[in-house]
Structure 1
Amino acid sequence: MSDADLVRNLNALLKPRARKELRQLEPRGPLKGKRVQAGYTSAPTSGGIASPLTEKTKDQGGSQVADREYYPAGLVSSDGLFVLPALKKQSFTDANGAEVVMDFATPGTL
């Protein structure tokens, strides 16, 4: 007995299923065109930095200097002969007047 014979014999034992038909829907016509208006609200200007960036200054001893912080140990060269100033934090103002702060990682050696 082949597979096809087995399937045919099993189907002969079962009663045929009654087919359920979907209910008929009345056909609908196309929608009529109409004129509508929607108000536009622009997105807020947040979520980014507006260029150009302007470095902030502070008053130090009667003169204006850049608003920067440096690591006290500085950036030491690999041979130990040179110690360069290493930026820790630098402050800016963007085009929208928002404060922008850049924090720098602890320096290693050159």
Structure 2
Amino acid sequence: MDIPRFTDLLLDWTYVLFGLACLITLGVVIGEFIKNCKYDRKKAFSTLATVIGFAALVVICWFLGSPEKVDIIGYEGTENVGVMAQMTDAILYLTYILFCATVVALVWGVFYTKRLK
């Protein structure tokens, strides 16, 4: 049986890239907020409302997740209970919601641009 050799390294690299993406995103949002505070208060409020709305969505998805054990056939590890199970559920719910929001935004954008013509 072949044993994967670089799975841990690949997962660690994924964590590093995900952390960098989060830090860069937060840096850009904070920079835009500071810039908008100087020149346009309405845009600053809009940026802040978007960030607060997204944070609220993450918290809501967290509480929708279940910490109960997930029965997976052939898996005997301990990472599918408690916080890890709840985090997995939260990420899945967040992914579903953001996917649906993207589809709605695309459809709304098509109808909105056709209405302008």
TM-score in terms of structure 2 length: 0.19
Whichever structure has more helix as a proportion of its residues is 2
Structure with a larger share of its residues in strand: 1
Q: Report which of the two structures shows the higher radius of gyration computed on alpha carbons.
A: 1
